[in-house]
Amino acid sequence: MKPFTLKSVLLVSFMLSQMLLIAQNQSKKSRVELKDGSLLNGVIIEDTDYHIILVIETRDTLTIGYKNIAGIDQNRQWHQRTKAEHDYDGLFVELSLNQYIHNDAPFDLSVTVGKRLNKKTSIGVQARFRRHDEFVGAIYITPDFGYGGAYLRQYWLEKKARFFTDATLGYSVSTNSGTQCCTIRSDYNGGVQASLGGGVQFATNGPLSLIVKGGVTYSETSGEIVTIDNPVTTFESTYSKEYLIPHVGFGIEF
């Protein structure tokens, strides 16, 4: 083959490949309509359950959460957003029930309110109602505690099932000081509570997500026990107990 002919073939091949590449890029272009009515044109280079990454015509890269997207027009086909709206940003509220693995079988209900600083870190405050059975003398009595503390959660995977670790630190105050049963009266003080745990959070197609977790809680309880055997005999003692208790729990977040 003559050099001129070879050069012509190579030139034509290069032009065809460029035309094909342009056509492919054009076919990948999408029109993204946001819920505020604005339109964005570009190429989607990443599409997850929670967001898309769009390269617009100015070559800027934008990350857009699904909850802000009304729909996407891609290859002349309109797609409503049906994936999870819960992209883990902004404010959140979590309701949980925790069961402690202990002979005295304490449990608590917790409410956590906070803010997601970013897709991996959330902070907030937590309030609990906590019951803990105490063995006094020959019977069980059940003091109840109110709890308030700080909360931190760190996510590890940005998937529909997101693994995390979380921690709390706070103080509990007895809500039924002066419990009286039979001949025993017990006055309870509060104590430090700290917990460390981990679990997995499952996103749904709506704003709710389900949480399953486990961990360990440190708890300190102190108080006074007054035992009255008869009208003339009274025994008083003080106590301080520390617990390191494994726990499991589940909850919902929205």
Q: Supply the CATH number for residue 74's domain.
A: 2.30.30.100
At 107 the pLDDT is 80
Report the range of poorest mean pLDDT among 4-8, 49-53, 143-147: 4-8
Query: Looking at 32, 50, 80, which one is the last position of a domain?
Result: 80
Q: What is the pLDDT of residue 42?
A: 86
Alpha-carbon distances, residue 83 vs 29, 164, 205 (angstroms): 20, 22, 6
What is each CA distance from 34 to 75, 125, 151, in whole angstroms? 18, 33, 33
Tell whether the model's pLDDT for residue 63 goes beyond 90: no
Whether 108 and 226 map to the same domain: the answer is yes
Pairing of strands 139-141, 144-155: unpaired
Total tally of structural domains belonging to the chain: 2
In a domain? residue 62:
yes
Q: Is residue 85 a part of any domain in this protein?
A: no
Q: What is the pLDDT of residues 172-225, one digit of tens each?
A: 888 765 555 556 666 777 889 899 999 999 877 677 889 999 999 888 877 776
pLDDT tens-digit readout, 15-47: 656 555 444 554 567 888 888 888 888 888 888
Q: What is the pLDDT of residue 15?
A: 63
The neighbouring-strand residues paired with 179 are 186
Q: In terms of domains, do 150 and 54 share one?
A: no
State the pLDDT at residue 23: 47
Do 74 and 96 lie in one domain? The reply is no
Cα Rg of the chain, angstroms: 30
Please check whether residues 44 and 113 belong to one and the same domain.
no
Do residue 206 and residue 225 come from a single domain?
Answer: yes
Residues 178 and 57 placed together within one structural domain of the fold: no
C-alpha–C-alpha distance, residues 151 and 46, integer Å: 32
CATH code (residue 122) = 2.40.160.20
Q: Is the pLDDT of residue 237 over 60?
A: yes
* Residue 75 CA: distances (Å) to CA of 11, 27, 41, 72, 78: 30, 6, 12, 10, 8
- Residues 148-175, mean pLDDT to the nearest whole number: 87
30, 46, 80: which is the final residue of a domain?
80
Position with higher pLDDT, 22 vs 145: 145
Amino acid at 186: S
Q: Which domain holds residue 74?
A: 3-80
* Rounded Cα distance, 217 and 124, in Å: 18
Residue range 115-140: mean pLDDT, rounded: 77
Residue 18 resides in a domain: yes
Of 80, 111, 146, which one is at a domain's C-terminal end? 80
Same domain, 67 and 178: no
Collapsing DSSP to helix, strand or coil, 86 comes out as coil
Burial of 98 (0-12, 13-18, 19+ CB in 10 A): buried
Residues 38 and 142 reside in one and the same domain: no
* CA-CA-CA-CA torsion sign (108, 113, 116, 122): negative
pLDDT score recorded for residue 79: 58
